[in-house]
Amino acid sequence: MQTLNVEMIGSGRRLCEPPSAPVEPPPGLDQLAPTPFRAHPLLRGGHLQTVLSLKAPPIPSLRPHVQIVELDDGDRLVMQDDLPQGWQVGDGSVMLVHGLTGCHSAPYMLRLASHFTQWGVRVFRLDMRGCGAGRDLATGLTHAGRSDDCIAALDRIAELTQGGPMGAIGVSLGGNQLLRAIGRIGASIDTPPAWIDRLIRLAAVSPPIDLARCSDNMERWLMRPYNRYFITHLLKRLPDPVRRRSDFQQLDLRRIPRTFRELDDRVTAPLSGFSSGRDYYAQTSAMHHLSEIRVPTLILAAQNDPIVPASCFSDHAGRLPEHVQVLMTRCGGHVGFLGRGTNRFWMDGVLQRWCAALSPCR
Radius of gyration of the chain (CA): 19
Per-residue burial over 335-353, b if 16 or more Cβ lie within 10 Å, else e, is: bbbbbeeebebbbbbbbbe
In Å, how far from its chain's centre is CA 180?
11
Strands 6-9 and 2-3: antiparallel
Distance of CA 167 to CAs 155, 216, 357, 360, Å? 13, 32, 9, 14
Report how many helices (DSSP H) and strands (DSSP E) the chain contains, helices first. 14, 10
Q: Which of 138, 75, 67 is nearest to 104 (CA)?
A: 67
pLDDT of residue 319: 82
Instruction: Give residues with Cβ within 8 angstroms of 190, minimum separation 6.
Output: 147, 151, 181, 184
Are 293 and 26 within 8 A, CB to CB? no
Tens-digit pLDDT string for the chain (362 aa): 333 334 444 433 222 333 344 467 788 777 887 677 877 777 777 777 887 777 666 666 788 999 999 999 999 999 999 999 999 999 999 999 999 989 999 999 999 999 999 999 999 999 999 999 999 999 999 999 999 999 999 999 999 999 999 999 999 999 999 999 999 999 999 999 999 999 999 999 999 999 999 999 999 998 999 999 899 989 998 999 999 999 999 998 889 999 999 999 999 999 999 999 999 999 999 999 999 999 999 999 999 999 999 999 988 877 899 999 999 999 999 998 988 876 788 999 999 999 999 998 76
Runs of H (alpha helix) within the chain: 29-32, 46-52, 107-118, 147-161, 173-186, 211-218, 224-236, 240-243, 246-249, 260-263, 269-272, 277-284, 311-314, 346-354
Spatial separation of the C-alpha atoms in residues 83 and 87, rounded to whole Å: 7
Are 258 and 229 within 8 A, CB to CB? no
Are 81 and 67 within 8 A, CB to CB? yes
